[in-house]
Chains A and B, each alone.
Chain A
Amino acid sequence: MATVPPISVMSFHLNRASLSHSTVNLSLPFMLDGDGDGGEAPSRCPRPIAALPNEFNPSYLKIYYNKLFPHADLYRWMSYGNDGKHPACDSSYLGRRKFSYTLDNDIFVRYNTFNSAAELENSIKDKCPLKIDIGPIYNLNIRYESLNASAGDNVLTPVERELIFDIDMSDYDDVRYCCSGADVCLNCWPLMIVAVKVIDTSLRDDFGFRHILWVYSGRRGVHCWVCDRKARRLTNEQRAAVADYFRVYKENENNYKKVSLMGQVLHPFLARSYTEVLKEYFETKLLTSQNLLSSKERYEKILEMIPDQSIASELRGKWQESRRSSSAKEDINIVQWEQLKQLLQKHKAQGVRRCVEEIVFTYTYPRLDMEVSKHMNHLLKAPFCVHPKIGRVCVPINPNNCEEFDPTTVPTLIQLLEELNREGLRSDVEGEWNKTSLANAIKLFRSSFLQPLLKICKEELESSYNAKLQQSKNLLSW
């Protein structure tokens, strides 16, 4: 079955006069079988590319942005209700938001602003950015204000910005053995599931936030956007406080990073995270999938964390023994973990007993990138972008069933284009995306995030407007 975009789509490319990519190679699809003999006329019979890896091609982005990317949803989200006709709407709101583009050839365009849905959509379709970053909302629309460095009044300052979190799998390299760096597989992905569960629960139950969007970052992590009005208005100091509330893995005096859980008991947030998520994931998933205790090198890392040398040597002795006796009935990791817990949990010193939790926290607790959350002006990639290296789309993750999210089955750009071809000219009132795997992602975005958010925004606008109206009525009435 042919998997090359059909002629109708290719001619779409050729007819567009506004191609801005200098590196678009229209013949690329036909070179994919490896003979490298340059471009051929598009009418030639294409060869099957079943062996094609999911490679990324900037020219495919053009199709993606024209047919699949949810421009209108992005616009509605970014407007936070100000796109209506209600007198309370602030028409300058969208225009004060900063968007950044990463274009081909590593060109970075830092400031883009849009004053309407059409401007936003046309710009993206025109520029085909490899990546779109969303920045804060400023006090001024930079397009209309002249930014004179000496003019005291015209200082550009961020006034609103979602509370954001970025969790990246490469920060866990010291506690995962299946992959490292940019790679991710189903053995280490549970670390991300844990992060989503722990942080999402806390954001809702502890901090009282409701409008939270979790997004797959496209390759090896997740992003979190907290969009409540209160969250958008937090100062840098307040953001840092929240990020710090979540921080457990930190540097001690020797600049050595570790988990240190002090105090007679754990803070309720840590205790809840441990009993509801961390312990289960450690003992039933990561312990075995990562083989944390199965080799000397690996178990030494854990034994190092035990402050009592005699216990550590006792365990070391036991485990070296068991290597020789090799009874493979029960998983060795589980057996050895039980032995460790037995010895530590009945120790009289609390510091030693606490070691069990410290090990679990070290291997499972979420590791946030502090800098991303602390500063209002930090950029973050927009949802529904396509990751340039492997072509996966940054789709939303439902925190209520995040255990079912599988990063290896996230739709890729090529996959989506193939699906488009298959469905051909079948029209869809919703939009082209509805014929593809992207449909679920967009529907999830709308139903679980966008619609509830916009409903609240509308209510907030109306109530603040009515309040002001009432105030001025009171002023006039006497």
Chain B
Amino acid sequence: MQVVRSHQSHRSFSSSSGSVSASPTLPLYRSAPELEVRLEDFESFAIDRLRVLKGISDGLSRGKKPDEMEKLVNELWKTNMRHQDSSQVPNKDIISHFVLRLVYCRTEELRKWFLSMESALFRHRFRNQTAEAQRAIMEEFDLPCKAVSNAEFESLKEKLGQVARSIGHNLSLSTTDAIYYKVPFEEVPELVTGRKVFINQGYAYVAMNQVVSLVATIFRSLLSKALILTNRKWATSIREQEQHRLTPIVEALCSSYLGPDFSQPKEYGEISLKDIDQVAKSSFPLCMRHLFEKLREDHHLKHAGRMQLGLFLKGVGLNVDDSLAFWREEFSKKVGLEKFEKEYAYNIRHNYGKEGKKTDYTPYSCQKIILSTPGVGDHHGCPYRHFGEENLRAALSRMGVNSRAMEDVMGKVRNRDYQLACTLTFEALHAAPCDAGINHPNQYFSDSQRLLKAKKDSST
């Protein structure tokens, strides 16, 4: 795959120039295609696919059932993997996959995650293929499956039915269910192991739905090997060669937050100083509530805490003057007015891009906050991660989380699903679902405000 600069003449990805896989609907990603890719497509395609994979990851960790996942995957794919030029859709699929290989090959943990998500994605997409397409894919995977002839099927029908019923598949053995494949038993150890197939004279008789598992397993193992090789190549040559071009993009991609950045606060965001205490109680996520309460209590916060809360407030709609007034009010109680102006005001204006290099800082996403490392005397970070169990329970119950929801939340915390824990807290406090999940404190705030406003509007 060749990456070209965007200002160069954009050669179209016609299939004549590339060796895109012959399988039209579901590529197997066996080898990187001979395509030229524009630099910005390199990044944007990858981001779109990443949205799909992260959506799958989210769905799986929320324990969605298979049919719900089916719908979710279809929707994610339709929404994110489109392209203005419909002929480019397969290319986008392939290119985005290979870019993400570079991103996710670099550590064991990254590889594991990518492998799981791509395998889940492949499994769902394979299931939705036509029987013909499925057969073509099996051939490509060298799965020595032979379709069982009608005659043989008739003679074995009873035994096959017995096996199906023994593993809980109530097949009616209608014509569609009557598709079985015959394969040497050693090719399908995972099916032999649980006595999930009928075996006779060295052949295992595999039902159509089991074939999906097989194919997905092969896909997974091929991808796993490929990732190791990619990592080796990356570490030894690509990273160095591309240090000024692709490497920074690749390294930024896996830690990217993919939602809105709340740097431009929207209408619901505007709050005034007199409302701030009220709004903090009703709509701040726990991390910001904690910082806010500590600030009110101690009239002081350390730098990291000031950054986390300060930028959040900016995202929430507090303008620079109100912000200065807010911090001045608190800090002056501890350090005095003069010291505040001398040492703290500058930084606040800096956060709004009014000083120095005038960078307009964006409020921190959950990912960033979770990764931070609060020490003694710090109050920033993500309470679901950084609080001990006792403190977290106390804080949640002060917020008003009931005991049943509390257990669900603590369950997620134990599983290290901190954002899910926050989402469940949101859902418990607002008595409403939050399907998208919490990825950003400002998202929590704006979703909360929207719900509360809607409630107020409907009750008046």
Stretch touching chain B among A75-83, A120-128, A267-275: A267-275
Interface centre among A209, A238, A242, A268 (most CB of B within 10 A): A268
Q: Which residues of the partner chain A approach B163 to less than 8 Å between Cβ atoms? A: 267-268
Question: Are B202 and A230 in contact, CB atoms less than 8 angstroms apart?
Answer: yes
A241 near B165 with CB under 8 A, answer no
Complex Cα spacing A240 to B192, Å: 10
Do the beta carbons of B189 and A268 come within 8 Å of each other? no
Q: Are A263 and B167 in contact (CB under 8 A)?
A: yes
**Known interface pairs A207-B199, A268-B198; A245-B193 also in contact (CB < 8 Å):** yes
Residue A325 interfacial (CB < 8 Å): no
Q: Is there contact, CB below 8 Å, between A241 and B166?
A: no
- In the complex, how many angstroms separate the beta carbon of A92 from the nearest chain B beta carbon? 26
B162 and A265 contact, CB distance less than 8 A:
yes
A431 adjacent to chain B (CB < 8 Å): no
Of B167, B185, B192, which is within 8 A of A244 by CB?
B192
Interchain CB contact under 8 A, B162 and A268 = yes
Alpha-carbon gap, A435 to B195, bound state (A): 48
A208 to B183, CA, bound (A): 13
Distance of A265 Cα from B202 Cα, bound (Å): 23
Partner pick for B189 among A205, A237, A263, A264, CB 8 A cutoff: A237
What is the CA–CA distance of A441 and B192 in the complex, to the nearest angstrom?
35
Pairwise interchain contact A208-B201, C-beta atoms closer than 8 A: yes
Q: Within the assembled complex, what's the spacing in Å between the Cα atoms of A154 and B77?
A: 48
Chain B interface residue count, CB cutoff 8 Å, equals 21
A270 to B199, CA, bound (A): 12
Residues of B within 8 A of A240 (CB): 189, 193
**Docked CA distance A267–B166 (Å):** 6
Q: A230-B202, A241-B193 are in contact. Are A207 and B185 (CB under 8 A)?
A: yes
B194 at the interface (CB under 8 A from A): yes
Complex CA distance for A416 and B163, rounded to whole angstroms: 50
- A207-B185, A207-B199, A208-B202 known; A263+B194 contact, CB < 8 A: no
Kindly state whether residue B186 has any CB partner on chain A within 8 Å: yes
B residues near A185, Cβ cutoff 8 Å: none
A245-B192, A263-B167, A267-B162 known; A234+B186 contact, CB < 8 A: yes
Q: With A and B bound together, what is the CA distance between A208 and B192 in angstroms? A: 14
Give the complex CA separation of A266 and B161 in angstroms: 11
Among A209, A235, A264, A267, which residue has its beta carbon within 8 angstroms of that of B195? Answer: A267
- Name which residue of chain B comes closest to A204, CB basis: B201
Question: Does B107 sit within 8 A of A, measured CB to CB?
Answer: no
The answer on a CB contact under 8 Å between A265 and B165 is yes
With A207-B202, A264-B166 as contacts: A245 and B190 at CB distance below 8 Å: no
Complex Cα gap A263–B195 (Å): 11
CB-CB contacts below 8 Å: A208-259 with B: 208-209, 230, 234-235, 237-238, 240-242, 244-245
- Among B165, B195, B203, which residue has its beta carbon within 8 angstroms of that of A245? B195
How far apart sit A459 and B159, CA to CA, in the bound complex (Å)? 34
Chain B residue nearest to A239 (CB atoms) is B189
User: Does residue A35 face the partner (Cβ distance < 8 Å to B)?
Assistant: no
Q: How far is the CA of A333 from the CA of B195 in the complex (A)?
A: 33
Contact: B199 with A206, CB < 8 Å?
yes
Contacts of A238 in B (CB 8 A): 186, 189
Q: Is the CB of B194 within 8 A of A244?
A: yes
> What residues on B are CB-neighbors of A264 within 8 Å?
165-166, 168
Chain B nearest CB, measured from A119 CB (Å): 34
Q: Is the CB of A205 within 8 A of B193?
A: no
Chain B residues contacting A244 (CB-CB under 8 Å) are 192-194
- Give chain B interface residues in 165-181, CB to chain A under 8 Å: 165-168
Cα of A411 to Cα of B195 in the assembled complex, Å = 39
- The A-contacting residues of B in range 258-283, CB under 8 angstroms, are none
**Which of A208, A209, A267: most chain B CB closer than 10 A?**
A267
Which residues on the B side are within 8 Å of A241 (C-beta)? 186, 189-190, 192-193
Using CB atoms, name the residue of chain A closest to B170: A264
Asked if B200 CB lies within 8 Å of chain A CBs, one says yes
Cα–Cα, bound, A271→B190 (Å):
21
B132-176 Cβ-contact flags toward A at 8 Å (1 or 0): 000000000000000000000000000100110111100000000
- Please name all residues of chain B whose beta carbon is closer than 8 Å to the beta carbon of A209 when the two chains form the complex: 202
Q: How far is it, in angstroms, between the C-alpha of A128 and the C-alpha of B423 when the chains are bound?
A: 73
B190 surroundings in chain A (CB, below 8 A)? 241
Alpha-carbon separation in the docked complex, A97 to B198 (Å): 35
Separation of A435 and B163 alpha carbons in the complex (Å): 52
CA distance A271 to B185 in the complex (A): 20
Q: Chain A contacts of B194 at CB under 8 A?
A: 244
Q: How far is the CB of B103 from chain A (nearest CB, A)?
A: 30
What 8 pairs between A and B have smallest CB-CB spacing? Answer: A208-B202, A241-B189, A263-B166, A241-B192, A244-B193, A208-B201, A264-B165, A241-B193
Q: List 5 A-B contacts (CB under 8 A).
A: A205-B201, A241-B192, A263-B165, A263-B166, A264-B168
Binding site for B on A (CB under 8 A): 205-209, 230, 234-235, 237-238, 240-242, 244-245, 262-271
List the interface of chain B (C-beta within 8 A of A).
159, 162-163, 165-168, 185-186, 189-190, 192-195, 198-203
Given A238-B186, A244-B193, A263-B166, 13 more A-B residue pairs with CB atoms under 8 Å apart are: A241-B186, A241-B189, A262-B166, A263-B167, A263-B168, A265-B166, A266-B166, A267-B162, A268-B159, A268-B162, A268-B163, A269-B195, A269-B199
